[in-house]
Structure 1
Amino acid sequence: MSSTQNLLGTILRNPNIITSKSHAKQLHAHILSAKGASSSDVSVVLFIYSNLNLLRDSCLVFNSLQSPPAQAWKSIIKCYTSHGLFLPSLAKFLEMRAAGIHPDRHVFPSVLKSCTSLMDLRLGKSVHGCIVHLGMDFDLYTGNALINMYSRFRNLTIMKESSSSNKVLGAFLNDSVRKVFETMPKRDLVSWNTVITGNVQNGMYEEALTMVREMGDASLKPDSFTLSSILPIFAEYVDVAKGKEIHSYAIRHGFDTDVYIGSSLIDMYAKCTRVEDSHSVFYLLPHRDAISWNSIIAGCVQNGHFDEGIRFFRQMLMANNKPMHVSFSSIMPACAYLTTLHLGKQLHGYIIRVGFDDNVFIASSLVDMYAKCGNIKIARYIFNKIELHDMVSWTAIIMGYALHGFAYDAISLFEQMEMEGVEPNFVSFVAVLTACSHAGLKDEAWEYFTSMTQDYGIAPGLEHYAAIADLLGRAGRLEEAYKFISGMHIEPTGSVWSTLLAACRVHKNVDLAEKVAGKLFAIDPQNMGAYILLSNIYSAARRWKDAAKLRTFMREKGMKKKPACSWIEVGNTVHTFMAGDKAHPDYRKITKALNNLLERMEREGYVPDTNEVFHDVEEEHKKYVLFNHSERLAIAFGIISTPAGTTIRVTKNIRMCVDCHTATKFISKIVEREIIVRDNSRFHHFKNGVCSCGDYW
């Protein structure tokens, strides 16, 4: 026997030694040139082509076989599956069965993967029956494939809306996963990890943790995949102590530099509000992928560290890491909160360039961002371009109109959503009730509040109660609001009582304010905002001693008032102003512009409302305090820094006072510009001396 024949025999017996396309082609040519090449030899070539993912060559070889042996069927099925051609893969499996060829344990993992990818549970169950009939259900790899299939179907069922049929199906799939796992005579890490991951994804946290303990009893040590699967449990439970135990285990076993473990740790620490720990994990990762970048960005934004989130996003781009679509959904809330419209527009342009603009989640984030940055027209334009609206996109646009005070637009969209068959949920009712509250639409609000429980079976939450209480408070129906809150089916929180306390300040009801404050302090004795509100109520009623006593109490308790702050974006830079702020480099120009505006405003009939200054000082000093409120400084800076006719967009961290609201109406008329101010509850569109809120806020 020649050396060539010896080599050929060695290759045919050990085909895995061929690792390149050129060598595979040489082998194929040699076999074809030899007389009397058997189908088994040709099947080996097909096996090699399949392993090398050479689809075209695999198909040509398979089609050249008149009666393909079992090896050839296995190879072509595997090749189709690995290329995502799941229907052809299943078709070949059915042809194989029709040809009387019995599948073996190497075929079923590919077939089950195709059933899973096509979400064809009926066929998957049929294949499972075939596996049992052929006695292959005891095979480790086949068992793992079955567990994976049933787990994936279970995940899809959980994601769908809850219904009796889905619950029955979910129970069947849970039972199927358990039965397959328990009947396996041998289980490896893949078996355990697949079931554990499935339990976590379906919210079965205790079952997942029990299985981790049982895995240890079976003398199997958790690997990086196990750890990254169970870390979300401690994120959900906000159990940082247990999460740290997993982190320590990962360090001891050398898993801490694994990018999947790292991403899970970043997410866990962030959801437990341990942002610095999440940063430490991120910086220690030797390699960072899109998932780890997205975890740190999302963690910053979720914890209110918006500037840091934007900084990490920019660093990701500089590191040539392409953002995933979820990265944009994570960063958009930061732009929305900071009202950085320029950055939001840059991100929008990037999204269009990478082709993510047709993604409904990203489009919904854009709708929310533009609405919260004050441009409701572009928000509506993007919403209208979405082909298939889901609950998230509907809620984003309805809440956008609600925040801008365009209640009838919000209500119209809500009704359109219902007509299109999208059932309102908890959040969408918050949006429409907020719209009614901001516009004082009491009757409509009660209709929606009643419909929520009677028509849709949604129990009112704190947000719904707060919206109704806010509506009653704004309308001056303070006693009715007090009774409404007292009669809530759930325990009211400090934020709900704070809504009524703010209304007491607006309507100057000191007696009820003291009563409400008592309720509030009993629930939340450290609520600094409530003490400040009550102090202002006392000051407005000229009860200076009571106000001073309250401020002394706050100082003794170490409470500090959150300073009023406004910011405006000019020339791609965000400029921040505090009340009475002289630190800005253009302060003199701003003061000059304000003095000029004040003279023109007074000629138009403006009279300062000094009741909004809660200090026992001279009247002239009160006027000076009002003159230097943060939003006025920001508006004046915007006027002197932008071309005539440019819309001015200002954000303020607390409620806009009555005098600044009046002054801004005058300014909008004098400078002939639209001025949009977003305070801590809504948007105000000032144009030609009129505000969109109708002086109701």
Structure 2
Amino acid sequence: MFVQETKPTKPNFLPHSTEFPGLIQPRIPSTVLPPTLALPNPPQHAQPCRQNFSLDSVAYTKLVQFSTRSGSLIYGKAAHGHMIKTAFRSCLFLLNNLLHMYCKCGEINSAHQMFDRMPKHNVISYNSLLSGYSQMGLFVNAMEVFNEARVFGLKLDKFTYAGALNLCGQTGDLLLGKLIHGLVIVSGLGDKVFLTNSLIDMYSKCGQVNRAALLFECSNELDEVSWNSLIAGYVRVGANEKMVKLVGKMHRSGLKLNTYALGSVLKACCTNFKDSNQHGKALHAFSVKLGLDLDDVVATALLDMYAKTGDLVDAIQLFKLMSNQSVIIYNAMIAGFLQGETISDEYANEAFDLFSKMQKNGMKPSKFTFSSMLKACNAVEAFDYGMQIHAQICKWNLQSDEFIGSALIDLYFLSGSVEDGVKCFALTPKLDIVLWTSIISGYVQNGHFGCALALFYELLSSGRKPDEFIISSMLGACSNLASPRSGQQIQGYAIKTGIGKFTIIQNSQICMYAKSGDIDSTHLTFEEMDNPDVVSWSVMISSNAQHGCARKALRLFELMKGYGIAPNHITFLGVLTACSHGGLVKEGLRYFESMKKDYCMTVNVRHCACIVDLLGRAGKLVDAENFILNSGFEEDPVMWRALLSACRVYKDTVTGKRVAERVIELKPQGSASYVLLYNIYNDAGINLPATKIRELMNDRGVKKEPGLSWIEVGNEVHCFVVGDRSHPMSQVIYARLEEMMKRMEKLGYIEERPISSISEPKLKASTVMNYHSEKLAVTYGILCLPASAPVRVMKNLRVCQDCHTMMKFLSRVEKREIILRDSIRFHHFREGTCSCGDYW
């Protein structure tokens, strides 16, 4: 029950003091005062005003009301400061005006301090504070104010109940809304049309449009707002046919179809319901007949309708025919060019031109204008232009708007400027869920997964409820960290809050389990999905490909086609990867041709690299090289690097040298090509060229990425590098590793001893091989994890031949399942065998 028996505690912002914090007392020129307060010049003989001179209540009230209307606190704060300084005894009416000013101007902390220090309150005081918290999105605090007003026994009016019902609609709290509905009836205000409209709006926003319709039908008194609210409710839930019938009934009832109702109906015509296009054009003609097409709201809705239905030509024509092209109309046209998930450079440039034309015509861009322009900059990666727009946003003092703040966060995170994105987040006063989504997903996109997790926990501690997009981003962070325990906790939270069945969350969950090495949980999640989409199937196919289950991946692909789901580029990439890792040359070539012929898809460099890898792994090095030369991507180093890897597998030093030179020419600072060529010479026992490769890297300043392996034990991730002795249990780890090595040698394991290592040439060969990072991580897992638990280790580089061989022996000696993820794929070691079939 939301009604509390005792007075709820309120936050104690600051100790009581005689001075109100943060007040400024500037000199106010009379020329900028409100006309009614402009003071005449004093006569020459007049004496200076004393410091304790006070204005009267009327003057103070007019100053405060002027600040409220203008949105500028300077006059209101000056008046408040002067009242405190002169010890003016304010009446309740003036204090309520001050409270209303702080709430309307967004200074909710100051408003609450003001409220706490008022000697007396009435229902207007509570209404103002409730509205202020609602305006800032602090719905929990607003409901506490409502509860407190009831506990104090105040007679609540229709505005109090309307504010509380608005809270329920904003938060989707249907149960609380029903309780307040009951209070409205008990208070005797149930027949007030003002509250009837609030109830219709609340039920509609809570997804109970049928209840709203029942209330509409049973009400004795209705006005145009009632009809408009129910129409908007039908639009919100997509009940477009009911909406059209209600509009017709409203028109037949003799009520005027106002701009609000017409705008809502035109908004519904943007969706593809039956005869929506004809309805939209009929409404356009009807609006012209009534003369409403000149209204900004209707004109905006018409532009939006034509743009969203793909009729951009009519939208442009309509825009040109409008004589009164206001900022709202420009915004609608700009938004029209930015419709859809993908925005072309052409349409983005059209939007930029309109923005420039607005400014040339002397129009002041609105918050929506800047938000749309930042969206265009993000879509086409025009980051420099976006920063110029940020400067204009600061010029117009709009940087505190939450929608602009979200777009700015996206801009800076997309450009890789994480620090600037964090600053934009910190400087936005109203942190709604969209802002949290932007910064958390930005951290994930930039690889700051730990920061994303920390911010997610901060979001939870603030009392806000994350949506499905934040949960999806967090599961993505856990998948990149290979942290299944954290992922399982977030999955549990999603199920508890009722959003665990969202497809976007289940897709991220599949990816999280797959990247954490738990392919069984991946299959279980997929099987529990009610309506898997193309992303679900594609992730499953790619996951099986990465885990060495090539045949299973291809069966999933055929099953997907049987369900009538059309594959996309990502799906085919997973299929080709499966064929490559499984050595299925004929199948891979057949699917590659099917992609082009049967589905008319344009292949990209990643698809072609899979074919190079497929042919190279099968030993068809000549065919792979010819394929590169005829692919159209011969200038891309990814293609040649795939062939270079195959040259190492087959110890082809001649082709490897030629291919490596080509890769180094295309990407001289890429360490992978040098390392592969070094290993080719090293494996073949050709010492001198290998040494020269290492010297060439040093001369060019090319640094090899150090090998790093990590394992999650409990709630901690433990990282290891080659020869690592920084771990607190290093002595125990090395002792156990040596003991296991001796047992494996008895079963036939022979350590490979290279001549030297490109990363640690000064260490002894045996030391380098024995103490590779993945060996240390696996040993730590064997020491700390239960015997029944698989040991899951992640590595940033490809596993070497010796470590791969050792893991097979180790799984047999320890009778443990070892799951090792390298930079290319997963290796599942069981009973002395690997899921890759030694084809890697």
The TM-score by the shorter chain falls in which range? 0.7 to 0.9
The answer (yes or no) to whether the contact 1:576–1:634 under 8 Å persists in 2 is: yes
- Between 1:418-427 and 1:611-620, the stretch displaced more is 611-620
| 1:347-386 superposed matches below 5 A | 347-386=490-529
Shift of 1:244: 1.1
Structure 1 residues 20-39: aligned runs within 5 Å: 22=157
When residues 196 and 477 of structure 1 are mapped into structure 2, their CA distance, relative to the original with a 3 A threshold, is same
> Quick check: 1:81–1:114 contact (8 Å CA) kept in 2?
no
- Residue 101 (structure 1) shift: 5.7
Pick from 564, 567, 585 the counterpart of residue 728 of structure 2. Answer: 585
Distance 1:24 1:232 in 2: 37
Distance 2:403 2:301 in 1: 22
Please say if residues 59 and 76 of structure 1, whose CA atoms lie closer than 8 Å, have aligned partners that are also in contact: no
Match of 1:218? Answer: 361
CA RMSD of aligned residues (A): 2.9
| 1:181-217 residue CA offsets vs partner (Å, 9 max, x unmatched) | 3333323332222221231234221121111122223
- Residue matched to 1:449: 592
Deviation of residue 136 (structure 1)? 2.8
Please give the secondary structure, in 2, of the residue aligned with 1:651.
strand
The residue that corresponds to 1:572 in the other structure is 715
Partner Cα distance (1:23, 1:591) in 2: 75
Q: Which among 229, 234, 244 is matched to residue 377 of structure 2?
A: 234
* Superposed displacement of residue 632, structure 1: 0.7
Report whether the alignment pairs 1:124 with 2:274: no
CA change 1:116–1:464 in 2 (3 A) is closer
Which amino acid in structure 1 is aligned with residue 298 of structure 2? Answer: T
Alignment of structure 1 residues 115-194 onto 2, 5 Å: 115-116=269-270, 119=273, 120-151=276-307, 153-154=308-309, 170=310, 173-194=311-332
Q: Which residue of 1 aligns with 2:571?
A: 428
Matched position secondary structure for 1:458: coil
Match of 2:121 in 1: none
**Aligned pair partner of 1:196 in 324, 334, 337:** 334
Task: Tell me by how many angstroms 1:295 deviates.
Answer: 1.1
Q: 1:329 to 1:612 in 2, by over 3 A?
A: farther
Query: Hey, what does 2:226 align to over in structure 1?
Result: 76
Q: Which moved more, 1:76-85 or 1:419-428?
A: 76-85
* Residue from 250, 264, 289 that aligns with 1:96: 250
Question: Could you say which residue in structure 2 is the equivalent of 1:268?
Answer: 411
Q: What are the residue-to-residue correspondences of 1:595-614 with 2, within 5 Å?
A: 595-611=738-754, 614=757
Could you state the TM-score of these two structures normalised by the residue count of structure 2?
0.72
Report the Cα distance in structure 1 between the residues aligned to 2:569 and 2:760, rounded to whole angstroms.
Answer: 47
Asked if the contact 2:675/2:758 (under 8 Å) is kept, the reply is no
Q: Deviations over 1:51-81 (max 9, x none)?
A: 645578997787677xx9xxx6633321213
Name the CA shift for 1:133/1:535 in 2 (closer, same or farther; >3 Å).
Answer: same
Question: Residue 111 of structure 1 aligns with which residue?
Answer: 265
CA distance in 2: counterparts of 1:450 and 1:565, whole angstroms:
39
Measured after TM superposition, the shift of residue 117 of structure 1 is 6.7
SS at match of 2:338: helix
Contact persistence 1:675–1:687 (CA under 8 A): yes
Distance 1:612 1:256, change over 3 A: farther
Report the alpha carbon displacement of residue 149 of structure 1 after superposing the two structures with TM: 3.1
C-alpha distance 142-238 of structure 1, shift in aligned 2 (>3 A) = closer
Aligned to 1:401: 544
In structure 2, C-alpha distance between the alignment counterparts of 1:654 and 1:617, rounded to whole Å: 15
Kept after mapping to 2: 8 A contact 1:333/1:365: yes
- SS of the residue corresponding to residue 610 of structure 1 reads coil
Letter in 1 for 2:263: P
Q: Is the 8 A contact 2:682 2:755 kept in 1?
A: no
| Distance change (3 Å), C-alpha of 1:105 and 1:361 | closer
1:374, distance to aligned residue in structure 2 (A)? 0.5
CA apart distance, 1:604: 0.9
Contact 1:148/1:194 (8 A) holds in 2: yes
Query: Where does residue 246 of structure 1 map in the other structure?
Result: 389
Select the residue among 440, 446, 450 that pairs with 1:303.
446
Match of 2:487 among 326, 344, 355: 344
Shift of the 300–611 alpha-carbon distance from structure 1 to 2, 3 Å rule, reads same
What is the rounded CA distance, in whole Å, between the counterparts of 1:615 and 1:550 in structure 2? 9
* Mean Cα deviation higher: 203-212 or 583-592: 203-212
Residue 284 of structure 2 aligns to a residue whose secondary structure is: helix
C-alpha spacing 1:414/1:449, structure 2 compared with 1 (3 Å)? same
Counterpart mapping for 1:632-643 below 5 A = 632-643=775-786
SS class of match (2:294): coil
TM normalised by structure 1 equals 0.86
CA contact (8 A) 1:77 1:110 kept: no
Partner of 1:325: 468
What is the match of residue 70 of structure 2? none
C-alpha separation in 2, matches of 1:510 and 1:112: 69
Contact 1:668 1:689 in 2 (8 A): yes
**1:73 and 1:92 in contact (8 A); partners too:** no
Distance in 2 between residues matched to 1:355 and 1:62, nearest whole Å: 32
The one-letter amino acid paired with 1:134 is: L
Residue 508 of structure 1: CA displacement?
1.2
The equivalent residue for 2:834 is: 691
Shift of 1:332: 2.1
Partner of 1:14: none
Evaluate the alpha carbon distance shift between residue 534 and residue 284 of structure 1 in structure 2; reply closer, same or farther with a 3 A threshold.
same
Unaligned runs of 5+ in 1: 1-16, 27-44, 155-169
Give 1:88 shift.
4.8
Task: Identify which range, 310-319 or 417-426, moves more after superposition.
Answer: 310-319
Higher RCO (C-alpha 8 Å, min separation 6): 1
DSSP 3-state at the match of 2:809? helix
> CA 1:281–1:311 in 2, change beyond 3 Å: closer, same or farther?
same
Following TM superposition, by how much is the alpha carbon of 1:367 offset from its aligned partner in structure 2, in angstroms? 0.6
Bigger mean CA offset, 644-653 vs 315-324: 315-324
> Contact conserved, 1:462 with 1:492, CA < 8 A, in 2?
no
Residues 545 and 88 of structure 1: CA distance in aligned 2, closer, same or farther (over 3 Å): same
Render the CA deviation track for 1:280-310: whole Å, top value 9, x for unaligned. Answer: 2222223322111211121122122222222
Percent of residue pairs identical = 36
Structure 1 position 645 matched with structure 2 position 783: no
Q: Which residue identity does 2:287 align to in structure 1? A: I
Q: In 1, Cα distance between the equivalents of 2:315 and 2:467?
A: 31
**Equivalent of 1:504, from 626, 644, 647?**
647
Paired residue type of 2:246:
K
What's the secondary structure of 1:417's corresponding residue? Answer: helix
Alpha-carbon offset, residue 395 of structure 1? 0.5
Cα separation, 2, equivalents of 1:381 and 1:656:
29
**Shift in Å at residue 366 of structure 1?**
0.6
The counterpart of 1:551, out of the listed 691, 694, 697, is: 694
Q: What amino acid is the match of 2:228?
A: K
Structure 1 residue corresponding to 2:667, chosen from 496, 506, 524:
524
Describe the SS at the equivalent of 2:819.
strand
Deviates more, 1:389-398 or 1:330-339: 330-339
Task: Give the 3 Å change call, closer, same or farther, for CA 387–59 of structure 1 in structure 2.
Answer: closer
